[in-house]
A and B are shown apart, each in its own frame.
Chain A
């Protein structure tokens, strides 16, 4: 069963801590995404990557950075966590558009719920 795995389901961190959220996919997908989900705001794109070492800012990149050293792994980094980054973080992956059935369909992980105190 193909899947996207997020390493931590629940994290509690303190303001100012550095936080790493890890995501691994086993589908050989080119694209990987980090979204943030908040009530009433839906999903907002933080960053996405279309290839190893490549990244592009999404709609809300401030306060976040990402790393993609291997095709299957995409990490989200909060350099100095703040309380307004308390949220559910969703990782997703997809094939490139135009690559046939299933292209451009996102497969999501189960999410990482981060609380910053």
Chain B
């Protein structure tokens, strides 16, 4: 079956540091890949997505590249801000499948 493995948290960084949150996946088909973010007290919201190999998703300074050869979709940001403090979830869905499989989430805290 499908599965998503992401970096254990929590992760604590100083403001303006470089961020990487690792995500690898196992899927039987040709999945779409997603990063969702959950700010304190809120539901999840889509951060970025990629639907095929070598696609790069980007939003709010975050980027992730769909790497089929390494089955990875690592999240990166060049300079984090305090407002980026949240829980980040990697997820996948098989082509034509309505359901998403989520990773366990990585809590990120940015200190000034």
Contacts and interface: CB of A to CB of B under 8 A. Distances in A.
Interface in A51-97: 58, 90, 92, 94, 96-97
13 contacts: A33-B99, A40-B104, A42-B102, A42-B105, A43-B105, A44-B102, A97-B95, A97-B96, A97-B97, A105-B49, A106-B44, A108-B43, A109-B43
Q: In terms of DSSP, what is the predominant structure of the interface of chain A? A: strand
> B interface, by DSSP: helix, strand, loop or mixed?
loop
Interface of A: 4, 31, 33, 35, 40-45, 48, 50, 58, 90, 92, 94, 96-98, 104-111
B45 interface: yes
B64 to A, nearest CB: 15
B102 A43 contact: yes
A44 B103 CA distance: 9
Residue of A58, A98, A105 with most partner-chain B CB within 10 A: A105
Interface residues of B, number: 22
A98 B51 CA distance: 12
A35 B105 CA distance: 14
B100 interface: yes
A35 B91 CA distance: 13
B89 interface: yes
B111 interface: no
Contacts of A92: 43-44
B98 A42 contact: no
A100 to B, nearest CB: 12
Given A40-B104, A105-B49, A111 B43 contact: yes
